[in-house]
Amino acid sequence: MNWLAHVALSEPDPEIRLGNVLADLIKGEKRLGLPPAIRRGTDCHLFVDAFTDAHPVFLRSRARISPPRRRFASILVDLFFDHCLSLAWDHFHEQPRMVFIREVYGQFDALSRERLPEARPFVEHMLAQDWLGDYISVAGIERTLARVSRRLHRPGLLVPMIDELTTNLTGLREDFTAFYPALRAAVAGWVDGQK
């Protein structure tokens, strides 16, 4: 799962939501110095990733990716599942997708201005380029693949792999629809266990 799913599954607290996103960027011991709510968000993110990576439906989705590209299958399926979530948002969430995204952006903007200036550059890019909204379209997923490629220090590496989404979309959507309710239930159990 990628950032849209992580914030959708998060508790609604702005710091917890931001922690769910920052977990990919803040590694190891650096997490120990985070404010408690942000650290809780990073912990939730790690739980979601571990649950997802071990789930048989996710593994089935990874197997849909063509063999020469399979070493990138986890990254691709994470992104493609956020595309599936965007397409099926109303089936899983009551709040309209763009209303939710605007709410999250408002929270991240305020939080990065008032309490977490070190997150400001990241948040500014996210908002300016509408990273959460981009998951709805194939062109948006291509832009996301380009951003991830840059983070891997291999510009353009993943962009041609967009054809894996278009070729496998029906199966990926079926997989996502089977998987997401189980993930939501697991996250709810994790949250209850943290109280």
Helix or strand (DSSP H, E) at 133:
none
Higher-confidence residue of 83 and 28: namely 83
Q: What is the mean pLDDT of residues 119-143?
A: 97
Q: What is the mean pLDDT of residues 118-127?
A: 95
Secondary structure letter of residue 95 according to DSSP: S
- Which tokens hold the place of 45? 């993110």
Q: Which residue ranges make up each domain of the chain?
A: 3-25+34-194
Return the closest-CA partner of residue 141 out of 168, 119, 104.
Answer: 168
| Percentage of the chain lying above the pLDDT 90 cut | 87
Say yes or no to pLDDT of 131 above 90: yes
Write down the residue that tokens 């709810």 correspond to. Answer: 188
Return the closest-CA partner of residue 40 out of 61, 19, 54.
Answer: 19
Let me know: does 132 contact 7? Beta carbons within 8 Å: yes
pLDDT confidence band for 1 (50 / 70 / 90): very high
Q: Model confidence over 34-66: pLDDT tens digits?
A: 899 999 999 999 999 999 999 999 999 999 999
- Sequence length of the chain is 195
Q: Model confidence over 72-109: pLDDT tens digits?
A: 999 999 999 999 999 999 999 999 999 999 999 999 99
For the chain, give the mean pLDDT: 95
